[in-house]
Structure 1
Amino acid sequence: MTTSVSVIADLCIFLLTWNVGTHSPKNLELTSLLALNGTTSCPDNRLPDIYVIGMQEVNQAINVFKDDPWVLKLADALQPHEYVKIKSEQLQGILITMFAHHKHVPHMKNIETDETRTGLGGLWGNKGAVSIRLSLYGTGTVFVCSHLAAHDDKLKDRIEDYHQIVDNHKYRLPGYRHIFDHDFVFWMGDLNFRLSGETSAWDIRNSVENRQYEELLKLDQLLLLRQTGNAFSLLEEMLPTFAPTFKFKEGTNEYDLKRRPAWCDRILHRVQVNSYPSITLSANQLSYQSNMDYTLSDHKPVSATFNYKIETNNGTFTDEELHEMTHGGSGTIPNVSVHGLVALMAFHGIFISFFRFF
């Protein structure tokens, strides 16, 4: 007797990380950056179902009545395509925000955010992490954006930052108190890992110009750490096939050789594949790339797309039943912005535009 397999969710998730160097978006065109121009890596070249954008060194000017200008700029680009803002969280210059196509909003529950400061021994938020966790089609999913300690000689500090974030990030929902309790973990940011050894900035640039990425990546601190188990070993990363994303002269694609070029900007993920009877979870990575067209800061933006899929051998399984299994019937943590957006979808688009400011 053959077992029928049905799909509870089959989503394309677009992740983006960018250190914007305190610059505002102003008149920046985001169409290419967000793959809204027909260049998406999603199946059948469709637009992503969900966008999660992480930024570092966002200008810290505070306006309690509005979202950050970057969030507003992203919303302006995505709203015409029927995306709504789900949640944002900011810790000084570290920002994470999530947008989803409105049809997915009813399948998002238990939304929480958290932050961890790692600067100045945990007192200052210039370094650290922010995150958004939720039940997404019944599974526990978390997105983390971090900015770790800078400079070549601060490897130990970056390792310590990572462990502080893992240890101190806590959520209210039973069963999902910590980052790695989740079924899906996506971690991105300016992780600031450099190349080990004493290779000069000029020699690294020459290797990049000859596209000798594989040789350079043998010196990459993040890959070496994951192999030794000192940090990020629970996560996977597709090997970068793009040039180091730091450090560029602003406004150009020319490296600033005051610093050794490095792959500072990264996206990793983890899936607990077979956590539940008759349920299979997967997050097949479809792309991993930088965008050289954007020269606003000394970093290049890095994006990745994932095919997030939940399949079941029980043809009658719904995501509501999966939520009951995974979250143990815990009460939904209310989230005003999502519930408000669901209601507003019934009204004219101008109301949605107004509501996203709150």
Structure 2
Amino acid sequence: MVTTTAIADLCIFLLTWNVGTHSPRNLSLTSLLALNGTTNCPGNQLPDIYVIGLQEVSTKQVLNIFKDDPWVLEIASHLEDHEYFKVDSKQLQGILITMFTKHKHITHMKNIETEATRTGLGGLWGNKGAVSIRLSLYGTGAVFVCSHLAAHDDKLKERIEDYHQIVDNHKYQASGYRRIFDHDFVFWFGDLNFRLSGDSSAWDVRTAAEGMRYDELLKQDQLNLLRETGNAFSLLEEQAPNFAPTFKFIEGTNDYDLKRRPAWCDRILHRVQRNIYPAVTLSATQLSYQSNMEYTLSDHKPVSATFNYKVDTANQTDEELHEMTHAGASTPGTPNVSLTFAFIVLVALPYSQL
């Protein structure tokens, strides 16, 4: 019997939120980022890595290549006291992804790249589409994709087309990991905008949601139906949401705006290629999946999930695993971590004092 050792045993916190073009100013993110002692990580420890995806971020601010988006700065101001450092960020108009990590993991992150795909107006406009961060994480290929797909009940076909356009057009430089689903770990999240099929009224859906009849509603969920037919997202899996539909709320309240039928627009899915390397076992056990009703800034509720990201090997280091998995890969993004560390100190700290 082969004895294995965990060379990576991480808790990764994922968050998606459509912020409806609102600013984060004066908004406490302590509860949202589980900095209040409710992380769902083993031992209730803080996560090793945060990956946060936002949609409908305001694009009104003057572009400044030396300054991050206010949301990234606000997130940094909450995390820096806990010794997190920014790995990278990518923004496509209102779609934003950012990653933060504990310092001890920085040397185990290589080949960091970002990518973006526009799907709005047939690929000409970036109001819809996806942004991503991929990297070698403890020797394995991991990619985090944040997307905002076509809106409205009757745009299912467009959402399917958006998905396939993102899959086809997202391309990376790392050898062996040119595309999203080449990766050992895939985490895909965002405002996917999938609605409920059928002709139930907004009032009927609200009544079922208030009665916590989620199973009944999820049978009509477009994303679940698509995954079953193989038309989109079929390579990914999702823990069934055990929370109320996260759209559409009257801003500033927890009351549904019945101009739209409530739906689970905001989702987090993942995929793991568990046994593709000899004497290596990969796993991503989902520890939580929840919405946060406390936040009423926009017409969407934020949704988060935590995963236990684990790499077990027999007599291998993560450097040796990296050599096996990323052989010949260039390292276009490797310097980003150290550069970002200095950036957070100089830019994010003053912002936290505003």
- Tell me which interval the TM-score lies in, with the shorter structure as reference length: over 0.9
Matched, 1:317 2:320: no
Residue in 1 that maps onto 2:276 = 275
Query: Could you report, residue by residue, the CA deviation over 1:127-150 in whole angstroms, capped at 9, with x for unpaired residues?
Result: 000000000000000000000000
Matched, 1:160 2:152: no
Residue in 1 that maps onto 2:352 = none
Residue in 1 that maps onto 2:345 = 353
Query: Could you report, residue by residue, the CA deviation over 1:58-89 in whole angstroms, capped at 9, with x for unpaired residues?
Result: 00122322100000000000000010000000
Whether the 8 Å contact between 2:85 and 2:102 is mirrored in structure 1 is yes
Residue in 2 that maps onto 1:22 = 21
CA distance in 2, matches of 1:134, 1:270: 16
Residue in 1 that maps onto 2:242 = 241
CA distance in 2, matches of 1:292, 1:197: 27
CA distance in 2, matches of 1:206, 1:158: 27
Residue in 2 that maps onto 1:47 = 46
Whether the 8 Å contact between 1:54 and 1:96 is mirrored in structure 2 is yes
CA distance in 2, matches of 1:58, 1:265: 15
3-state SS in 1 of match to 2:100: strand
Whether the 8 Å contact between 1:85 and 1:356 is mirrored in structure 2 is no
CA distance in 2, matches of 1:104, 1:328: 21
Residue in 2 that maps onto 1:107 = 108
Shift, 1:352, TM fit: 4.8
Whether the 8 Å contact between 1:244 and 1:262 is mirrored in structure 2 is yes
Residue in 2 that maps onto 1:178 = 179
Q: Determine what percentage of the aligned residue pairs are the same residue.
A: 75
Query: Could you report, residue by residue, the CA deviation over 1:260-318 in whole angstroms, capped at 9, with x for unpaired residues?
Result: 00000000000000010000000000000000000000000000000000001x2x310
3-state SS in 2 of match to 1:173: coil
Residue in 2 that maps onto 1:117 = 118
CA distance in 1, matches of 2:329, 2:152: 43
Residue in 1 that maps onto 2:329 = 330
Residue in 2 that maps onto 1:82 = 83
In angstroms, what is the RMSD of aligned CA positions?
Answer: 1.3
- 1:334/1:52 CA distance change after superposition, 3 Å: closer
CA distance in 1, matches of 2:227, 2:258: 27
Residue in 1 that maps onto 2:232 = 231
Query: Could you report, residue by residue, the CA deviation over 1:149-203 in whole angstroms, capped at 9, with x for unpaired residues?
Result: 0000000000000000000000111211100000000000000000001100001
Shift, 1:341, TM fit: 5.1
Unmatched segments (≥5 aa) in structure 2: 350-354
Show the 5 A alignment for 1:213-228.
Answer: 213-228=214-229
Query: Could you report, residue by residue, the CA deviation over 1:207-250 in whole angstroms, capped at 9, with x for unpaired residues?
Result: 11111000000000000000000000000000000000000000
Matched, 1:13 2:12: yes
TM-score by length of 2: 0.96
Whether the 8 Å contact between 1:31 and 1:77 is mirrored in structure 2 is yes
CA distance in 1, matches of 2:257, 2:347: 42
Shift, 1:353, TM fit: 1.2
CA distance in 1, matches of 2:187, 2:333: 23
The runs of at least 4 consecutive aligned structure 1 residues that moved more than 6 Å come to none
Q: Which moved more, 1:170-179 or 1:150-159?
A: 170-179
3-state SS in 2 of match to 1:134: strand
CA distance in 2, matches of 1:237, 1:276: 24
3-state SS in 2 of match to 1:176: coil
Query: Could you report, residue by residue, the CA deviation over 1:8-49 in whole angstroms, capped at 9, with x for unpaired residues?
Result: 100000000000000000000000000000001000100000
Whether the 8 Å contact between 2:88 and 2:340 is mirrored in structure 1 is no
Whether the 8 Å contact between 2:128 and 2:147 is mirrored in structure 1 is yes
Whether the 8 Å contact between 1:341 and 1:355 is mirrored in structure 2 is no
TM-score by length of 1: 0.95
Whether the 8 Å contact between 1:323 and 1:329 is mirrored in structure 2 is no
CA distance in 1, matches of 2:348, 2:298: 27
